[in-house]
Amino acid sequence: MRTTHAPGSVMARNARARVRGRRRRWFAEVSWKYVVAAVVVVYAAFPLVYVLSASLAAGGTLTGSTSLFRSVSAENYQALDATRFWQWAGNSLVVATATAIGSVLMGAAAAYAFSRFRFSGRRTGLTTLLIIQMFPQMLAFVAIFLLLLSLGEVIPVLGLNSKLALIAVYLGGALGSNTLLMYGFFNSVPRELDEAAKIDGASHSQIYWTIILRLVTPILAVVGLLSFISTFGEFILARVILTSESNWTLAVGMYGWVSDQLNANWGLFAAGAVLAALPVLMLFLFLQKYIVGGLTAGSVKG
């Protein structure tokens, strides 16, 4: 005897089967991504939370680190006023801001020249910049020290213990990578805009300042941000060039608080680290709308 099923019950069973199939696919293909994302977030956030907890812990040590926020006190932040922290922060801001602005101006000018002009040695110059950027600037810190030592005897403002000399050293190493990064972005700007502006009587400088720079604002923001971050926390060259405590940057000055293992004040260091991260964070939030476009748009056309 043949058994017949109502059409409604068959459709209901099929619907339940499809729902179970979608759930199985979700657990197999998507759910593990949330687990990985949660692990990554915890792994990335824990050091930040740990530093914030250490900055709010009284005593200036890292004892009891297994209990986050066991004690909350502004003692470490208040103690910063008795140090040169704010002077070092001002030095870091001056050096990082000047370096970022200089890197943007130099890199943009060089990238525009390589992108728009055809001259003898153009390809050789690009290749040379590519090779030079493979070697970190800190590899030459001995030569830089000797150079500034001799240069300071002739031009004291460009010798050792000079923030201007430190800025010049940073700018010397920033030209290669910034130029290559901007070069691809400048190539993505249509040349027809230059030709139309020339027909209207615009000069190369007018085209560069009024048209091109406005169209490549994303890459300018990215280069400025990367340059600011790298120089704001740089330690080796700043420690070699800046010899007096009044000219130290934050990285150099704060290192002195924890360099002696017997007298290390980690609470003070953590409080300074939290405050030192604020300028970088604010600049990042201000420029974040340019970051994705600036890093990806120039990679399409070289």
Among 128, 166, 163, smallest CA distance to 147 is for 166
SS (HEC) of 184-248? HHHHCCCHHHHHHHHHCCCCHHHHHHHHHHHHCHHHHHHHHHHHHHHHHCCCHHHHHHCCCHHHC
Q: Which of 77, 109, 136 is the last residue of a domain?
A: 77
| pLDDT at site 165 | 93
What is the spatial distance between Cα 15 and Cα 7, in angstroms, rounded to a whole number? 12
Q: Are residues 182 and 295 in the same domain?
A: yes
Give the pLDDT band of residue 44 (cuts 50, 70, 90): confident
Same domain, 63 and 104: no
How many domains does the chain fold into? Answer: 2
Residues 120 and 238 in one domain: yes
Residues 57, 196 share a domain:
no
In this prediction, residue 174 carries a pLDDT of 76
* Residue-level pLDDT at 231: 92
Instruction: Collect all residues with Cβ–Cβ distance below 8 Å to 240 and sequence separation of at least 6.
Output: 141, 144, 145
- The CATH number covering residue 287 comes to 1.10.3720.10
Question: Is the CB of residue 298 less than 8 Å from the CB of residue 184?
Answer: yes
Is residue 2 domain-resident?
no
Neighbours of 269 (CB within 10 A): 21
* Residue at which a domain ends, from 77, 94, 110: 77
Q: What is the mean pLDDT of residues 276-302?
A: 72
Q: Residues 114, 233: one domain?
A: yes
pLDDT digits (tens, 9 = 90+) for 74-119: 888 998 998 999 999 999 999 999 999 999 999 898 888 888 888 8
Q: Note whether residue 293 is domain-resident.
A: yes
Tokens of 281: 């964070």
Parent domain of 102: 83-299
In angstroms, the first-to-last Cα distance of the chain is: 75
Q: 59-73, 142-156, 190-204, 225-239 — which is least confidently predicted? A: 59-73
